[in-house]
Amino acid sequence: MTDNLESLYEYDEAVRNSAGTFCGVDEAGRGPLAGDVYAAAVILDPENPIEGLNDSKKLSEKKREALYEEIIEKAEDYCIAKATVEEIEKYNILEAAMLAMRRAVLGLDIKPELALIDGNKTPDVPCDARSVVKGDGTSASIAAASILAKVTRDRYMKELAKQYPQYGFERHKGYGTKLHCQAIIEYGPCPVHRPSFLKKLYAKK
């Protein structure tokens, strides 16, 4: 086990000893101009550690994909959920991310006594909840959740790229890259774009 991985698991062990069964929770897709926001909740098996766990942003796509399969295989329980573009527009992105996280926790078969949430805000969940700033680099369980959420969302954006090939979703996953912004200006938005996120772009134009 690497030092970093050991520290992630040691953090989880301390939480488990004080709080009992807990899940790590993280989301993916708060920043993009298009697509749903995803979240995952994961209860890891402390007897079955997963080598290579880390903040999903620090891992290559290939590594994330491999870890995704291993997490699903080895976790005691997991759930992946989302909030739609319509919900993002109705509530705002922060509330939609909280909704996706709540759905992920509610979708677990094993009911945790605590949810460790990446970030500085906690969703409304039927158990204790604790926010952990930079949690995906602190807790193995949150790191696992970040990988499940990120890989699932990336796969979803690749599927959308087949429907809307002109935007290059498979390349930027909906983020506001130069390529993506140019495509929106050229072709206009499509049904999976978030209208409230495009206001600044149109203001610049």
Q: Tell me, what CATH number does 94's domain have?
A: 3.30.420.10
Instruction: Please tell me the total count of domains within the chain.
Output: 1
User: Does residue 114 form part of some domain?
Assistant: yes
Residue 173 in domain: no
Q: Is residue 191 part of a domain?
A: no
Contact assessment for residue 148 and residue 80, using Cβ atoms and an 8 Å cutoff: yes
- pTM for this entry: 0.96
**pLDDT 10s digit of each residue in the chain, 205 long?**
677 889 999 999 999 999 999 999 999 999 999 999 999 999 999 999 999 998 888 999 999 999 999 999 999 999 999 999 999 999 999 999 999 999 999 999 999 999 999 999 999 999 999 999 999 999 999 999 999 999 999 999 999 999 999 999 999 999 999 999 999 999 999 999 999 999 988 777 6
Question: pLDDT tens digits for 44-91?
Answer: 999 999 999 988 889 999 999 999 999 999 999 999 999 999 999 999
The whole-number pLDDT of residue 191 equals: 97
pLDDT of residue 2: 73
Find all residues with CB under 8 Å of 81, minimum gap 6, and list them: 38, 39, 40, 41, 100, 101, 103, 104, 107
Residue 171 in any domain: the answer is no
Residue 186 placed within a domain: no
11 falls within a domain: yes
Is residue 15, in this structure, part of any structural domain at all?
A: yes
Q: What is the domain extent for residue 136?
A: 3-158
What confidence tens digit (pLDDT) does each residue in 129-141 have?
999 999 999 999 9
What pLDDT does residue 205 have? 61
Does 130 map to a domain? yes
